[in-house]
Structure 1
Amino acid sequence: MKHTGTQTLVTLVAVFLLTACASGPENNPRAKVNIKKIDVQLESHVSSKKTDELFHFYKIWHKTPYRYGGTTHKGVDCSGFVQIAFAQLFHQSIPRTTHLQSHIGTPIDYDDRQYGDLVFFKTGFNTLHVGFYLEDNSFMHASSSKGVIISRMDSPYWADTFWQVRRVN
């Protein structure tokens, strides 16, 4: 079967959309995160350089709008946010896509997750999402509805879509 240019373009757009990062609804009242409380907890948690650097990175990127494929302060997606953090903070090159990022590092049991671990979610058919675990069931990520924020992993949406934790040293 021979594809026309239009058919090929439609196919590429469909694949692009189906593999996008996606974030769930952030307007669930039970899923609200007390950002000020987490900010205070993170600022007082100075046990590691990684903690300080990641928190500072979050403060710089906080509320940056979501943009699929984005890698700037004008707009960033979840895997771009994670890739930039690794490059700037840890001087480590990691893959660009959430799918490829989900294969790096070491799988970690949910109960053994630590600050800075990558948390992954399956948010739809062929749709993955990634963020950084913080503490107290919170994670930072680029949400498609709110931009770079901190969310609760135990909110109904994120708890239902949770997939895996990975540690990248």
Structure 2
Amino acid sequence: MVIKSRYVKSICFFFLVLLSSCHVTKVPQTVPASVKSVSCALGIHVSNKDYFPLYLEISSWIGVPYKYGGITRKGVDCSGLVLNVYREVYGVVLSRSSEQMMQQDCRELSRQQLRGGDLVFFATTKNKKKINHVGIYLKDNLFVHSTTSRGVILSSLDENYYRKTWVGAGRVKRKK
């Protein structure tokens, strides 16, 4: 009888421990820290509707200084930035110049058709038809680009300077 009693007590104790360790705690739904840090780095709200790999890559370029012909994080020009981001995020190799990107790599879009990842083109010299600047559209009229004075930054298409120098937009064609 003593053995059966110990055996029953042991089994009961085992099940008590097992049941007490199986309580359920609701885990609060939170945004991953990386989304928060990217939002902070870019100064905009990044949500689950946004293509996160694009925003993550762009956040790693913010503040990189401008360098004519540059293609590294030590210094980059506008087309070098676009070239790098597209290669890293989409696995697509684009032409090296902003004008060639528009002519060879993109199909033209209206401003109203812009989606995250589309390219925006500008003519910032006296020749208002010659594309010499490119950026990547994000959302809410914001785009990322490399400027000669401030390096890689976000700007708004609504800024007077970019309204005046706007040439067009393009969506990168799928390579066959």
Distance, in Å, in 2 between the alignment partners of 1:70 and 1:85 is 14
Q: Which amino acid counterpart does residue 107 of structure 1 have in structure 2?
A: E
Identical columns (%): 34
* Shift in Å, 1:128: 1.1
Q: 1:142 aligns with which of 143, 146, 150?
A: 146
What's the counterpart of residue 106 of structure 2? 105
Could you list the runs of 4 or more consecutive aligned residues of structure 1 that deviate by over 6 angstroms after TM superposition? none
Task: Say if 2:120 is the partner of 1:116.
Answer: no
Distance, in Å, in 1 between the alignment partners of 2:49 and 2:61 is 22
The answer to whether the Cα contact below 8 Å between 2:58 and 2:85 also exists between their aligned partners in 1 is no
Distance, in Å, in 1 between the alignment partners of 2:40 and 2:124 is 27
Distance, in Å, in 2 between the alignment partners of 1:55 and 1:145 is 23
Instruction: Tell me which of the two structures has the higher relative contact order, counting C-alpha pairs closer than 8 angstroms and 6 or more residues apart.
Output: 1
Distance, in Å, in 2 between the alignment partners of 1:162 and 1:77 is 18
Q: Which amino acid counterpart does residue 47 of structure 1 have in structure 2?
A: K
Unaligned runs of 5+ in 2: 1-38
- Change in CA separation of 1:142 and 1:83 when aligned onto 2, cut-off 3 Å: same
What is the TM-score with the length of structure 1 in the denominator? 0.72
Q: Which amino acid counterpart does residue 112 of structure 2 have in structure 1?
A: D
Distance, in Å, in 1 between the alignment partners of 2:82 and 2:41 is 23
Unaligned runs of 5+ in 1: 1-34
What is the TM-score with the length of structure 2 in the denominator? 0.69
What's the counterpart of residue 69 of structure 1? 69
Instruction: Work out the number of aligned pairs and report it.
Output: 131
Distance, in Å, in 2 between the alignment partners of 1:133 and 1:139 is 4
Structure number with greater Rg is 2
* Shift in Å, 1:47: 2.4
Distance, in Å, in 2 between the alignment partners of 1:37 and 1:82 is 18
Task: Say if 2:167 is the partner of 1:166.
Answer: no
* Shift in Å, 1:164: 0.5
